[in-house]
Amino acid sequence: MDLDTPGSGQHVAQTRGKLRVYLGAAPGVGKSYAMLAEGQRRRARGTDVVAALVETHGRRQTAAMAEGLEAIPRRTMSYRGAAFTEMDLDAVLARHPQVALVDELAHTNVPGCRNGKRWQDVDELLDAGIDVVTTLNVQHLESLNDVAKQITGVEQHETLPDEVARRADQIELVDMTPEALRRRMVHGNVYPPDRIEASLTHYFRPGNLTALRELALLWVADRVEEGLQRYRTEHGVVAPWETRERIVVGIAGEPGDERLIRRAARIAARTPGSDLLAVHVAADDGVSGHGATLDAQRTLVASLGGSFWHIPGDDTAEALLSFARDQNATQMVLGASRRGRLATLLAGKSTPTKLARRAKHIDVHLVSMESSGTRSRAIARLLSALPGRRARARRAAATADALSRLAVSVLSGHGDPAGLLEEIRDMFGLTAVSLLEQRRNGGGPRWYVMASAGDRPPDSLAADVALPITETIALAGRGHPLSAEDSQLLSCCAAPMIAGLLRRRQDEQDADAARTAADRRSRSAVLAATGQQAREQLQKAERALAELADPGLAADQRAALAAQGRHAVSYVSQVIADLSELRRLHAGALEIYLRQVDLDEVLAAVMEDLGPGAPDITLTLPEDLPDVVADAGLLTRILTSLTADALRHCPRGVPPVIAAASRAGTVELRVTVAGSPEPRGSEPDSLELRLARDLTEAMGDTFRSAESPDGARALIIELPAAASRPAAATSGRGTPSRA
């Protein structure tokens, strides 16, 4: 992504050098490499280029790209008894090349240098008419330093004023996906081997890299937007260019506009990266007098991630349209007129109607504003005034309308008590609404807030509105008492919806509890079976020890009994180790170190762990199988557990098969048992399988099982591939073959 930001004038462009910044989200994405590649391109075109200061950090590819470029010797500085090297600013100025390559723009110079920061050195080079190509990480920008610290937990002490980067003539984003950067780490292309594991499990976690990448993309996108707006202004472009969704919502400052703001926010949320701009036009029609209401709406807009604008204008429609055009808006959200049809005809076209006619390239959304608390109260008043059969019909219509609104709210995303309460609060014009549950904790019964909406929601039935839902659930509201008709409407419409949501939530909790109980039963069954097997092995060991006491045993019999006892003790020791490993894993105390792992070495360790007494196992690995990213110790443990389980269930004379295949950036490992005589379900039915599954998932990988029509069962784990390499396949215990 390349951003050109023209200078402020022709004279400045002729006397001052141009600054090009390569911006990255994290170390290792290739900023220095890109800077050097740019230097090589310009040098090939005949431009006088020098490497004023380049930090290769021991990376071979970066050092290779610097070959052939003239390097200005660094200046050695002494500070607190230690020697440091910095860019020799005077030497670069004296050399006066056309282009200087200067790495790490945010670097802090050693005390004693003429300038405290490297960007100040770069300013001097630019003032001298020297073009500078430099590098910068997004976390070093002052405006993003605190955000980056929250993401990574690492405070950056070297920062750069945003204005310095914003003044750059060109900003180019050097982008790399988190997965690609982590692969570079594993391959040793970023840090030396002793720093790889710590970096992958701390600063370079996928979540950290994704968040930093998003920061860099958004910051550059804002710079692109600044350049676009400057271009549109300079060239008099009025029609909107839909390069980015901007939703303008017109606010009248009246109660009920909160619904309009939330509707516009939902539209903006459907398009990531879009902007929400709420605008109030101060006109001499009395609308702008709602100071407290506007302050509350300003707070709501800010909480939804939007910005609030207060602009003057006698013609509301024209002021809104002018603002939307200036902001390159793509959509406008307006409240439909609250006036009746006759009043609208007498007063002329409404503001929404005028805007819809004049907007041209801007989409205009008209949102009905008649379904607020004001409308429900108006309906109630009408119902009380209408006699007989007609009143009952209108009351039924109002109830159906409210029920429909609440149902749509549930189906469109408010499928939770809090969202439904917000809809109820808005519909009946209440300040706050709470869903309360009565519980007994030690003393007498007390009310507890389950969910709420609005400001300072009530925490008891001592409120303006109190509506029982069930024996222990009630709805409480604050703001104003409801009329009898409104109370009936609320009871008929809201109560069933809330009861339904509570039942659904209870069903989900029951399902979760059932899954948890099933998992506990499965775990208990595994532990019971394991305990029984351990007791049987201990009994074998005891019998072997008792028989060894017979002095008349032959040497071969004594050796067989000793081997039997050792095997039994080894099995029990392994059970204890597996249980300890599971306990540490479930307690979150198991440390995981991901790195590049050679599967040949892992399988060799698996064979050694299984011991010499196991039957043959068929290993099939393709020649071009890549290494994988995994914890070598855990992967060995996983495969050992899977293979041990397979050995116990394989038919006599048909050994299990361990096979591997590379598929679209992943490596699939299969342990297959042919024609198992025992029915096997998908749930782990042994301690080995449960340990294998839990360890695999702890590494962030996939564990599953599959059965073929002939009864063969495969236990499968999927691992991310690291890098391709030639590898000999093996068949049998350590016997080389070609797959």
**Under a CB-based contact definition with an 8 Å cutoff, are residues 322 and 250 in contact?**
no
Q: Who has greater pLDDT, 702 or 344? A: 702
- Return mean pLDDT, the chain: 75
Residue 590 falls within a domain, yes or no?
no
Is the pLDDT at 234 greater than 70, yes or no? no
Residue 36 sits in a domain whose CATH number is 3.40.50.300
The answer to whether residue 428 sits within a structural domain is: no
Asked whether the predicted pLDDT for residue 361 surpasses 80, the reply is no
- Angle, in degrees to the nearest 10, between helices 484-548 and 388-411: 30
Q: Give the integer Cα–Cα distance in Å for 367 and 247.
A: 14
Is there a single domain that holds both residue 214 and residue 255?
no
CA distances, 54 to each of 36, 66, 285 (Å): 9, 8, 64
Classify strands 331-335 and 99-102 as parallel, antiparallel or unpaired. Answer: unpaired
- Give 724's DSSP letter: -
What are the tens digits of pLDDT across the range 187-204? 777 877 767 766 676 777
- Which strands, in side-by-side order, build the sheet including 246-251? 307-312, 275-282, 246-251, 331-335, 363-367
* Domain region containing 720: 595-737
Which strand (E) or helix (H) includes residue 395? helix 388-411
Burial class (CB in 10 A: 0-12, 13-18, 19+), 388: exposed
Report residue 164 CA to chain centroid gap: 30
420-461: per-residue pLDDT in tens? 777 778 777 888 988 888 887 666 788 888 888 888 888 888
Distance CA 366, CA 468 (A): 36
CB 32 within 8 A of CB 23: no
Same domain flag for 253 and 225: no
Return d(Cα 24, Cα 277) in angstroms, integer. 30
> In terms of C-beta density within 10 A (0-12 exposed, 13-18 middle, 19 or more buried), how is residue 327 classed?
middle
Does 123 have pLDDT greater than 90?
Answer: yes
Tell me which of 329, 345, 370 is where a domain ends. 370
Pull the structure tokens for residue 52: 């004023």
Amino acid residing at 346: L
| Tokens read off for 344 | 């609208």
Point out which residues pair with 113 in neighbouring strands.
111
**Residue range 19-71, pLDDT digits in tens:** 999 999 888 898 999 999 999 999 999 999 999 999 988 888 888 899 999 99
Is 518 inside any structural domain?
A: no
SS3 583: helix
With a cut of 90, say whether residue 83 has pLDDT above it: no
What is the number of domains present in the chain?
A: 3
Over pLDDT 70: what percentage of the chain? 69
The first and second tokens of residue 576, run together, are 């204890």
DSSP state of 674: S
Tell whether pTM > 0.85. Answer: no
* Residue 695 · residue 637 · CB < 8 Å: yes
Q: Has residue 375 got a pLDDT over 50? A: no
Q: Does residue 386 belong to any structural domain of this protein? A: no
Q: 367 near 352, Cβ under 8 Å?
A: no
Are residues 128 and 251 both part of a single domain? Answer: no
Q: What is the DSSP letter of 368?
A: -
Based on the fold, state whether residues 145 and 264 are members of the same structural domain: no
Q: What digits encode the pLDDT tens for the residues 684-696?
A: 457 667 777 877 8
605 within domain boundaries: yes
- 504 compared with 321, residue with greater pLDDT: 321
The answer to whether residues 596 and 558 touch, using CB atoms and an 8 Å cutoff, is no
Residues in the chain: 739
Give yes or no for residue 220 having a pLDDT over 50: yes
CATH number at residue 262: 3.40.50.620
Mean pLDDT is lowest, of 80-89, 167-176, 667-676, for 667-676
Query: In Å, what is the CA distance from 726 to each residue of 183, 562, 599, 627, 661?
Result: 18, 43, 12, 10, 14
Show the tokens assigned to 1.
């992504």
Segment of 1-15, 164-178, 300-314, 339-353 carrying the highest mean pLDDT: 164-178
Distance, CA of 372 to CA of 370 (rounded, Å) = 6
If pLDDT is split at 50, 70 and 90, which confidence band does 731 have? very low
**Shared domain check, 262 and 226:** no
Provide the angle, in degrees to the nearest 10, between the axes of the packed helices 484-548 and 417-427. 170
In a domain, 457, yes or no: no
Last residue of a domain, one of 195, 210, 234: 234
Domain final residue, candidates 370, 388, 411: 370
Pair 229, 272 in one domain: no
For residue 403, being part of any structural domain is answered with no
φ, ψ for residue 719, nearest 5 deg: -125, 150
Q: Which two tokens stand for residue 75?
A: 């200046």
Q: Which residues contact 206 (CB under 8 A, 6 or more apart)?
A: 178, 179, 182
